[in-house]
Structure 1
């Protein structure tokens, strides 16, 4: 898709509108099927019978009740004679409106190809499942920050789809992906040692803590937090989108301090919304920790002005994050 706005965000570790909660289920069969949006399980059943993998994944998503997304998308990759490659199928699907990719295949080579392609695209996230930690470890070695693996001994009921159904459609930045109850998924009866092995391999899983069933962690294969990637993508896209709309709705955005101020104002509006959705932290006085620095016309390279390219805008923010563990000390006084 052609665009005139490019926003680049680096995650700084201390010393039409894209559907950011919309999952795409991608199956495979001898005949391809195009991207299609569904609003309920009954309409999925009309195209994909109850015994199909696509239906099972959709059922896992919508089993999460009120937390589930209002709509999902499903498509099929062509296999067999003259099959679609991962590159081919994603080329047609990346033009569509979705954010989370779920594939029905768990074949290691397929998963690796999809993970690599999603990493290279840098705009979406891929969720997959595995019942073999060796497979997870092999994926982790690639350092994928946009792929999350859900480990479970039972993967036929799509635990990763259930997780997306439970969390994915919440306002971006408002939730963490740990501690989540998943309808239809049984917790693993494992020791802390077993759980540590799963996390070390790079996966997350489903366990019982304090009598409650919940997801064990909220990280991608690289160890990055899922909500950090989600928030980064949301902010980048919305700044690009808002400025593109500014260009389209204005007779001209002048290359002067007034026009530059318009770009900065749009950027700050997106950051303000991100703060309200709890993506961005606040200081001790409750003020949002973000800022912008847009060079004035006189500070811009004359060569850029001649080309009508403004490259002098910068912004920063501190992620709010979430508390996943705590140690609280007490003292008994006599």
Structure 2
């Protein structure tokens, strides 16, 4: 991926509508005096190192309490969050969250219109500084167009009422997941870790982020109207349906489904990894039909795996994945590319499999 030493560049262009391991690892960013990164494989190890940071421990506890959590949890200490995120990007985390500098502070902002400023008082005070680092990490990840920022607040009536104002801080961020859970910020931080731990490391493409059970998270005490208010801002929460505790949705703040973007990340990372392995392990990939065929076969294998995992849709007529791989021959390549040993002639496309989130049944009663 970006910022990692590689000879492979994979660009994904998403048209609308129409083997990496551990894609569920989480990084927790914490403000500190010196930039640093540490990795932990258990909650006990982290607790010994960060016993005094209660909110950090809550995220870690939520993460490690899930049966299928990733194999690592990163703690990134930063002085500037974007600088640290860039420096430790090659560490391999897929999800990241920031412990707010003042997590108990309110999150609403001043009225945006001049009329509002004159005729009404803000519900709470401006907390731009308290959440600036959280927003900065969100912006950094949006700029990369891969991986996810995860943010959250307690699912209190006041926070639900101000959900739209909370979202304004991040805009329609395509790569930020907002999950409201718990009765206070500590429980909300546990929920963030629990969400990533419960779903992030499942086989990418095999699960949607809606309907998922998170160990240790309590269903919210909100009305249907309040939950809908969260969903209107593409924020989701934790509820009980048909006697089962589960996540209420699975979208980012930009309205994209998390599993779809996670699948795109898997494809990109898999292509980068396997093509780099092909170049590194072969004595030579010749710039001719035989060499180009090896590249074609590698990409086809990745997309076939993506189909088997549920990332790519299956063509009902052929029972094969709905993807195409096209390669240009040496004769179709420029003399400059041949001289510089750059192959730019491969293109691929695929159709996401999607998922069913609601069902409408039409019935008839005969008398």
TM > 0.5 fold call: yes
**In the alignment, what sits opposite 1:127?**
150
Per-residue deviation, 1:32: 3.5
**In the alignment, what sits opposite 2:115?**
none
Per-residue deviation, 1:151: 2.0
Corresponding residue to 1:194 among 226, 242, 250: 226
For the 8 Å contact 1:17–1:97, the answer to whether it is kept is no
Per-residue deviation, 1:130: 2.4
Per-residue deviation, 1:117: 0.8
Per-residue deviation, 1:18: 6.0
Corresponding residue to 2:94 among 70, 76, 99: 99
**Larger mean Cα displacement after TM superposition, 185-194 or 276-285:** 185-194
Q: Is 1:13 equivalent to 2:16 in the alignment?
A: yes
Secondary structure at the residue paired with 1:316?
strand
For the 8 Å contact 2:24–2:200, the answer to whether it is kept is yes
**In the alignment, what sits opposite 1:43?**
45
Per-residue deviation, 1:304: 2.3
Corresponding residue to 2:85 among 81, 90, 94: 90
**In the alignment, what sits opposite 1:69?**
70
* Distance in 2 (alpha carbons) for counterparts of 1:324 and 1:188: 20
Matches within 5 A, 1:136-155: 136-141=166-171, 143-152=172-181, 153-155=183-185
Q: Is 1:320 equivalent to 2:353 in the alignment?
A: yes
For the 8 Å contact 1:139–1:221, the answer to whether it is kept is no
What is the root-mean-square deviation in Å for CA atoms of aligned residues? Answer: 1.9
Per-residue deviation, 1:16: 11
CA 48–244 in structure 1, closer or farther in 2 if over 3 Å, else same: same
**In the alignment, what sits opposite 1:274?**
306
Secondary structure at the residue paired with 1:151?
coil
Partner deviation per Cα, 1:291-316 (whole Å, 9 max, x = no partner)? 21111222223332233221110111
Per-residue deviation, 1:267: 0.4
Q: Is 1:169 equivalent to 2:201 in the alignment?
A: yes
CA 237–16 in structure 1, closer or farther in 2 if over 3 Å, else same: closer
Corresponding residue to 1:296 among 326, 329, 339: 329
**In the alignment, what sits opposite 1:80?**
none
Corresponding residue to 2:280 among 231, 244, 248: 248
When normalised by structure 1's length, the TM-score is 0.91
Secondary structure at the residue paired with 1:76?
strand
Corresponding residue to 1:25 among 12, 28, 33: 28
For the 8 Å contact 2:97–2:134, the answer to whether it is kept is no
Secondary structure at the residue paired with 1:271?
helix
Per-residue deviation, 1:17: 5.2
Secondary structure at the residue paired with 2:62?
helix
For the 8 Å contact 2:204–2:263, the answer to whether it is kept is yes
For the 8 Å contact 1:35–1:73, the answer to whether it is kept is yes
**In the alignment, what sits opposite 2:338?**
305
Per-residue deviation, 1:145: 0.8
Partner deviation per Cα, 1:242-277 (whole Å, 9 max, x = no partner)? 111111112221111111111111101111111111
Per-residue deviation, 1:51: 4.9
* Distance in 2 (alpha carbons) for counterparts of 1:280 and 1:17: 17
Secondary structure at the residue paired with 1:297?
coil
Per-residue deviation, 1:140: 4.8
Structure 1: which 5+ runs fail to align? 78-83
Per-residue deviation, 1:91: 2.5
**In the alignment, what sits opposite 1:212?**
244
CA 210–17 in structure 1, closer or farther in 2 if over 3 Å, else same: closer
For the 8 Å contact 2:30–2:77, the answer to whether it is kept is yes
Per-residue deviation, 1:88: 2.0
Per-residue deviation, 1:135: 4.0
CA 20–161 in structure 1, closer or farther in 2 if over 3 Å, else same: same
* Distance in 2 (alpha carbons) for counterparts of 1:112 and 1:254: 47
Secondary structure at the residue paired with 1:90?
helix
Partner deviation per Cα, 1:101-153 (whole Å, 9 max, x = no partner)? 02211532222111001111233211111243144321353x21111111235
Q: Which runs of 4+ in 1 moved over 4 A?
A: 15-18
* Distance in 1 (alpha carbons) for counterparts of 2:223 and 2:145: 36
**Larger mean Cα displacement after TM superposition, 15-24 or 186-195:** 15-24
